[in-house]
Amino acid sequence: MAPAMRSDHLAKLRQETVDMFYHGYSNYMLHAFPEDELRPVSCQPLTRNPNKPADIGLNDVLGNYSLTLIDSLSTLAILAGGPADERYTGSQALSDFQDGVAQFVLYYGDGRPGPSGQGIRSRGFDLDSKVQVFETVIRGVGGLLSAHLFAVGDLPIRGYDPKPDGTVRGDDPLETAPISWPGGFRYDGQLLRLAFDLSGRLLPAFYTKTGIPYPRVNLRSGIPFYVNSPLHQDSGDAEPAVGNAEITETCSAGAGSLTLEFTVLSRLSGDPRFEQAAKRAFWEVWERRSDLGLIGNGIDAERGVWIGPHSGIGAGMDSFFEYALKSHILLSGQETPNMTRSQRQSTTAWLDPNSLHPPLPPEMHSSDAFLEAWHQAHASVKRHIYTDRSHFPYYSNNHRATGQPYTMWIDSLGAFYPGLLALAGEIDEAVEANLVYTALWTRYGAIPERWSVRESNVEPGIAWWPGRPEFIESTYHIYRATADPWYLRVGEMVLHDIKRRCWVACGWAGLENVLSGEKQDRMESFFLGETTKYMYLLFDPEHPLNNLDAAYVFTTEGHPLIIPHQARGSSTPRRRPSRASQQTKKDVAVYHYYDSRFTNSCPAPRKPLEPLAGSNTAAKRNLFDVSRFTNLYNTPNIHGPLEMFNIKDEDKGHVMQYRATSNHTVFPWTLPPTMLPHNGTCPAPVNRVLSWIEFPSQDAASSASSSLFSRASPQLRWYQNLGPTVETVDGLKLQLEQEFSEGAGSDVWMITHVAGKTVARHENVMFHAEHVRQFRDDAFSVLRRKDMVDVVLLVEPDEPEPAPSLRTSHELPLASMPLPVAPGSLDEITSSIDAVAENASSTTRKPAVRASDEPPAADPDSLFKSILRAVSSALEGSSSAAARGTPAPSSPFRGGHSSLDDDGDDSSGPSIYSWLANTATGAGAFPLPAVHDALLRNSPDFSAADPGASLPWRRVYMAGLACDGPLPDDAARRHQVIVMQRGGCSFGEKLDNVPSFVPDDGGGGGSLQLVVVVDDGVGDDDVPRPLLPTEQRTPRGAPRVHGIPMVLLAGARGTYELFGKAAGVGLRRKYVVKSQGYVIENAIVL
> Residues 449, 484, 540, 730: which is the catalytic one?
449
Give the model's confidence band at 797: pLDDT under 50 very low, under 70 low, under 90 confident, else very high.
Answer: confident
* Stretch among 133-147, 936-950, 1000-1014 having the lowest mean pLDDT: 1000-1014
- Largest Cα–Cα distance in the chain? 113
Q: At what angle do helices 318-331 and 259-269 cross, to 10 degrees?
A: 30
Long-range CB contacts (< 8 A, 24+ apart) of 697-701?
697/730, 697/731, 698/730
| Confidence (pLDDT) at 863 | 43
| Confidence (pLDDT) at 1020 | 55
Annotated binding site for Ca(2+): 556
| Secondary structure (3-state) at 1047 | strand
Please write the tens of the pLDDT for every residue from 908-926: 578 899 999 999 999 999 9
Give the model's confidence band at 891: pLDDT under 50 very low, under 70 low, under 90 confident, else very high.
Answer: very low
Please write the tens of the pLDDT for every residue from 1021-1059: 578 999 999 999 999 999 998 899 999 998 888 899 999
Please write the tens of the pLDDT for every residue from 560-616: 999 998 644 333 334 444 444 444 344 344 678 999 999 999 999 998 888 877 899
| Confidence (pLDDT) at 809 | 28
Please write the tens of the pLDDT for every residue from 112-144: 999 999 999 999 999 999 999 999 999 999 999
Q: What is the CB-side half-sphere exposure of residue 558 using CA atoms within 13 A?
A: 32
Residue 280 confidence (pLDDT) above 90: yes
- Which is nearest to 1049 in space by CA: 963, 1002, 971, 987? 987
Please write the tens of the pLDDT for every residue from 505-514: 999 999 999 9
Please write the tens of the pLDDT for every residue from 517-551: 999 999 999 999 999 999 999 999 999 999 999 99
Give the model's confidence band at 852: pLDDT under 50 very low, under 70 low, under 90 confident, else very high.
Answer: very low
Annotated binding site: 556
Residue 690 confidence (pLDDT) above 60: yes
Give the model's confidence band at 836: pLDDT under 50 very low, under 70 low, under 90 confident, else very high.
Answer: very low
Gap between the Cα atoms of 193 and 179, Å rounded? 16
Average of pLDDT values for 387-392?
A: 87
Average of pLDDT values for 429-441?
A: 98
Residue 825 confidence (pLDDT) above 50: no
Q: Which residue has the higher pLDDT, 348 or 1034?
A: 1034
> Residues 35, 110, 126, 135: which is the catalytic one?
135
Concerning whether 459 is annotated as a catalytic residue, the answer is: no
Q: At what angle do helices 427-444 and 470-482 cross, to 10 degrees?
A: 140
Residue 344 confidence (pLDDT) above 80: no
* Stretch among 60-69, 609-618, 667-676, 781-790 having the lowest mean pLDDT: 609-618
Q: At what angle do helices 67-80 and 142-151 cross, to 10 degrees?
A: 30
- Which is nearest to 104 in space by CA: 194, 184, 173, 232? 194
| Confidence (pLDDT) at 241 | 57
| 740-762 b/e (C-beta count within 10 Å ≥ 16 → b) | ebeeeeeebbbbbebbebbbbbb
Gap between the Cα atoms of 1081 and 356, Å rounded? 52
Q: Which residue has the higher pLDDT, 626 or 335?
A: 626
E strand or H helix at 809, and its extent?
helix 806-809
Give yes or no for a contact between 528 and 63, defined as CB atoms under 8 angstroms apart: no
> Residues 126, 261, 470, 473: which is the catalytic one?
470
Mapping DSSP onto H, E and C, the string for 941-1009 reads: CCCCCCCCCCCCECCEEEEECCCCCCCCHHHHHCCCEEEEECCCCCHHHHHHCCCCCCCCCCCCCCCCC
Q: Is 784 left (phi over 0), alpha (psi -120 to 50) or beta?
A: beta
Gap between the Cα atoms of 972 and 285, Å rounded? 61
> Residues 318, 730, 906, 1081: which is the catalytic one?
318
| Confidence (pLDDT) at 723 | 87
* Sign of torsion over alpha carbons 1049, 1051, 1053, 1058: negative
CB within 8 Å of 806: residues ≥ 6 apart = 861, 865, 888, 891, 893, 896, 897, 898, 900
Gap between the Cα atoms of 95 and 157, Å rounded? 12
Concerning whether 318 is annotated as a catalytic residue, the answer is: yes
Gap between the Cα atoms of 286 and 377, Å rounded? 9
In what order do the strands lie in the sheet containing 397-399? 310-311, 397-399, 405-407
Q: C-alpha distances in angstroms, 429 versus 314, 405, 471?
A: 17, 21, 15
Concerning whether 426 is annotated as a catalytic residue, the answer is: no
| Confidence (pLDDT) at 655 | 80
| Confidence (pLDDT) at 688 | 87
- Which is nearest to 377 in space by CA: 286, 268, 439, 309? 286
* Stretch among 89-98, 236-245, 398-407, 958-967 having the lowest mean pLDDT: 236-245
Gap between the Cα atoms of 409 and 414, Å rounded? 11
| Secondary structure (3-state) at 151 | helix
Residue 1062 confidence (pLDDT) above 70: yes
* Stretch among 146-155, 181-190, 741-750 having the lowest mean pLDDT: 741-750
pTM of the entire predicted model: 0.83
Residue 264 confidence (pLDDT) above 50: yes
Please write the tens of the pLDDT for every residue from 448-500: 999 999 999 999 999 999 999 999 999 999 999 999 999 999 999 999 999 99
